[in-house]
């Protein structure tokens, strides 16, 4: 999942970003609202962590303006303004949650996860496919009951493939949802992560490469990452696989 962190204090922004990345989130950072506004138009986010007071001023009017335009991405206000009237103003302007400073990183991560799950796409907490089980609340993955140890990126890629199981997911879609803005979309980073997943998931192989398109969770594969010969058709980033 991808988060936009809008915070003008560099040290705090770095700490919060590190805490979110440590639990598997891709994080883009912005130091002021104009930069955040640009990124919101450019990328799709699962959640926004928004400092209320930025160099450009109080962000609540800008948040309210976006809400009135139909923007639905969940927002967590992270701010030193913590009186009852401050919180009420935040919710009235379109915030979904309000966490005053100082805060515990563990609580922030849990709140971000809760907001992202309640977002418009409503990603399920429990995902299952062919003996594979993913528990998003515990961040645990098992195959045939055996607990697997995955890296944060392996977990993020597997979850996205599980959400879109039986459809072909493009490399570009994986970069968009599982990496931040610093990712190089033409590098082999996605293939490297998928290769690691294949090894850890073990036989029989679950992730198939569809030549020229991306990856499919389901179907037969030789397990070595070679491109399959299955055609793909439908919408980009989630093409329906042949049955």
Tokens found for residue 198: 């294949």
Tokens found for residue 182: 């610093």
Q: Model confidence over 113-126: pLDDT tens digits? A: 888 876 544 556 68
Per-residue model confidence (pLDDT) at position 30: 94
**Which mean pLDDT values do the consecutive 10-residue runs of the chain (243 residues) have?**
92 92 87 93 88 93 89 89 86 91 90 76 72 84 92 86 86 79 66 91 90 78 39 38 38
Per-residue model confidence (pLDDT) at position 238: 41
Per-residue model confidence (pLDDT) at position 75: 94
- Quote the CA–CA distance of 86 and 74 in Å, as a whole number: 18
Per-residue model confidence (pLDDT) at position 197: 92
Per-residue model confidence (pLDDT) at position 220: 46
**Predicted TM-score of the model (pTM):** 0.58
Per-residue model confidence (pLDDT) at position 124: 66
Strands 47-51 and 207-210: unpaired
Per-residue model confidence (pLDDT) at position 242: 37
Per-residue model confidence (pLDDT) at position 226: 40
Q: How would you class 64 by CB atoms within 10 Å of its CB: exposed for 0-12, middle for 13-18, buried for 19 or more? A: middle
- Quote the CA–CA distance of 83 and 220 in Å, as a whole number: 57
Structural domains of the chain sorted by starting position, each given as residue range(s) with its CATH number in brackets: 2-117 (3.40.50.2300), 126-240 (1.10.10.10)
SS3 41: helix
Residue 29 · residue 57 · CB < 8 Å: no
Tokens found for residue 232: 């793909």
């Amino acid at each position: 999942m991808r988060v936009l962190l809008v915070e003008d204090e560099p040290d705090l922004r770095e700490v919060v970003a590190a805490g979110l990345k440590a639990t598997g989130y891709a994080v883009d950072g912005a130091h002021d609202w104009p930069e955040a506004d640009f990124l919101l138009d450019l990328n799709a986010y699962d959640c926004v962590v928004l400092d209320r007071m930025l160099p450009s001023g109080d962000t609540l009017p800008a948040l309210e303006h976006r809400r009135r335009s139909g923007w639905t991405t969940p927002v967590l206000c992270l701010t030193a303004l913590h009186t009852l009237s401050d919180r009420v103003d935040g919710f009235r302007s379109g915030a979904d949650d309000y966490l005053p400073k100082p805060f515990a990183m563990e609580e922030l991560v849990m709140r971000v996860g809760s907001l992202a799950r309640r977002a418009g796409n409503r990603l399920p907490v429990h995902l299952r496919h062919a003996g594979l089980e993913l528990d998003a609340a515990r961040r645990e993955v098992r195959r045939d009951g055996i607990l697997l140890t995955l890296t944060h990126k392996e977990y993020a890629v597997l979850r996205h493939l599980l959400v879109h199981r039986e459809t072909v997911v493009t490399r570009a879609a994986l970069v968009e949802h599982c990496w931040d803005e610093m990712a190089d979309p033409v590098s082999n980073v996605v293939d490297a992560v998928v290769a690691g997943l294949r090894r850890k998931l073990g036989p029989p192989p679950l992730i198939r490469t569809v030549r020229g398109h991306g990856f499919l969770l389901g179907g037969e594969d030789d397990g070595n990452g070679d491109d399959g010969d299955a055609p793909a058709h439908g919408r980009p980033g989630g093409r329906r696989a042949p049955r």
